Structures are given as structure tokens and as C-alpha cells.
């Protein structure tokens, strides 16, 4: 029997992947939210899930430790996507990559004056490309979370972060001033695994594609 390993992160990606798994006839035997197990079996003896940090999904798949995975476009842009086949945009965990500033900060003015901007973000590659394309000089400040705090305490002028409802920005007196790109999660597949286990993996790709309506 060919064993298939799918890498997922817990939280929103796991929740939104459940209906896609169901469409492929896969039901996890427990929830990663309540279980501490990092390897989770399913109703199918040939399919198992591994639970990893969202930003680690491309790494597990790239090295073949997982055959498939689900990762946000934000994560894939930072990782580079090397060695990964990305057959389906699953249209889940949608949000937008935005530039945000404190309310009242004159972003357009700063950009027009050619001012040097201090940018705090977890998404340093994405931010570097975005501002380079605009011809804006920046000092990048790498953070691992809670980016919204940085401009409030003078660590940065602006942040680059994901926004879905806008509630977090609002609660911290920040405002989105520019969209960098739309984000959703994609199915990623190890290219060697796709050749070696083609039949099994293709069935999962097809089921996910039908279920995500793309």
C-alpha cells in the first residue's frame, strides 16, 4: 500500500481544509486542536496528516517528508516555492497582504517626498520586492508576530501584514494604506512524489480541485 502524507497547520487552515478532505474521502481520526499528536491518522489507512507550523509546510513538502501540503500564498512567497508543484488555488484562508500605518500618518506624502521608511514585518522578502518596485527606500525590521504593535511604540513607520476583517488594525488605531496582493492557500505537491505515487496523489488533487470550485 502506498502511504500518502499531507502537511497541514492547525487553526484556520485545518478548519477550512476539512471539507476538502471530506471530498477526497478523508476524515481525520482526531482534531489537532484537542490532540497533542503531530501525526494524525485518518479513516484511510494509506493517508496520514502531519501538523506543522504554517510557515514550515513548504519545507516539509520540498524535502519529501510530506507528499502534499496546504500553505498560504504569503508563506509560499517568502519560501520561494522551490521544488514545489502548485496545482490548485484552494480559495481558503483568504485575506490580503497590506501596508498599514498609524491613523493620520501621511503615507502618500512620505512616498512622494522619497522619505526612507522603516517597515516592520514577518514578510521581509515580500516587503522588499514591493517597495523596490515602487522605488521606495526602506529599512526592514524583521518581526515574528504582533506586527501591529511596532508603529505604536516607534519601532517602525509602517507594517506589512495580513488583513482579513480589519479588526486588528482598527483596535490598534492603524489603517491599511495599500494592498500588496490577495492571499489564499494553495495545495503544494512534492514533484518526485507526484511521479512515484501519481495515481494516488492525482486523485487527491482532483478531489480538492472539484471541492474548491476552481
Q: Is 20 in the site for ligand PRT (CB under 6 A)?
A: no
Smaller CB distance to ligand PRT: residue 107 or 123?
A: 123
Q: All 3 cell numbers of residue 172?
A: 490598534
Considering only the stretches 35-43, 111-119, 166-174, 200-208, report the one whose residues sit in contact with ligand PRT under the rule CB under 6 A.
166-174
Query: Cβ neighbours of residue 122 under 8 Å, at least 6 residues apart?
Result: 142, 143, 144, 145, 147, 161
What's the rounded Cα separation, in Å, for the pair 91 and 74? Answer: 13
- What three-state secondary structure class fits 144? coil
Nearest-approach distance from CB 53 to ligand PRT, in angstroms: 5
Nearest-approach distance from CB 194 to ligand PRT, in angstroms: 23
Q: Which of 93, 187, 188, 193 binds ligand PRT (CB under 6 A)?
A: 93
Report CA Rg, the chain.
19
Smaller CB distance to ligand PRT: residue 88 or 197?
A: 88
Q: At what angle do helices 198-211 and 12-23 cross, to 10 degrees?
A: 110
Q: Is 75 in the site for ligand PRT (CB under 6 A)?
A: yes
Closest by Cα among 121, 177, 187, 124 to 149: 121
Q: Is 54 in the site for ligand PRT (CB under 6 A)?
A: yes
Binding site for ligand PRT (CB under 6 A): 9, 11-13, 53-55, 72, 74-75, 93, 95, 145, 161-168, 183, 185
Amino acid at each position: 500500500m502506498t502511504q500518502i502524507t499531507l502537511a497541514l497547520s492547525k487553526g484556520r487552515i485545518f478548519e477550512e481544509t476539512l471539507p476538502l478532505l471530506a471530498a477526497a474521502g478523508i476524515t481525520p481520526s482526531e482534531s489537532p486542536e484537542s490532540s497533542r499528536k503531530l501525526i494524525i491518522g485518518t479513516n484511510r489507512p494509506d493517508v496520514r496528516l502531519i501538523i506543522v507550523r504554517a510557515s514550515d509546510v513548504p519545507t516539509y513538502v520540498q524535502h519529501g517528508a510530506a507528499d502534499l501540503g496546504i500553505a498560504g500564498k504569503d508563506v509560499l512567497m517568502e519560501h520561494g516555492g522551490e521544488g514545489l508543484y502548485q496545482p490548485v488555488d484552494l480559495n481558503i484562508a483568504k485575506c490580503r497582504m497590506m501596508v498599514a500605518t498609524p491613523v493620520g500618518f501621511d503615507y502618500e506624502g512620505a512616498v512622494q517626498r522619497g522619505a526612507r521608511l522603516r517597515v516592520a514585518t514577518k514578510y521581509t522578502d515580500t516587503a522588499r520586492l514591493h517597495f523596490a518596485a515602487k522605488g521606495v527606500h526602506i529599512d526592514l525590521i524583521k518581526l515574528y508576530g504582533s506586527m501591529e504593535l511596532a508603529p505604536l511604540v516607534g519601532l517602525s513607520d509602517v507594517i506589512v501584514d495580513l488583513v482579513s476583517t480589519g479588526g486588528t488594525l482598527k483596535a490598534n488605531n492603524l489603517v491599511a494604506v495599500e494592498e500588496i496582493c490577495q492571499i489564499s492557500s494553495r495545495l503544494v505537491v512534492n514533484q518526485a512524489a507526484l511521479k512515484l505515487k501519481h495515481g494516488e496523489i492525482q486523485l487527491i488533487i482532483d478531489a480538492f480541485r472539484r471541492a474548491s470550485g476552481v
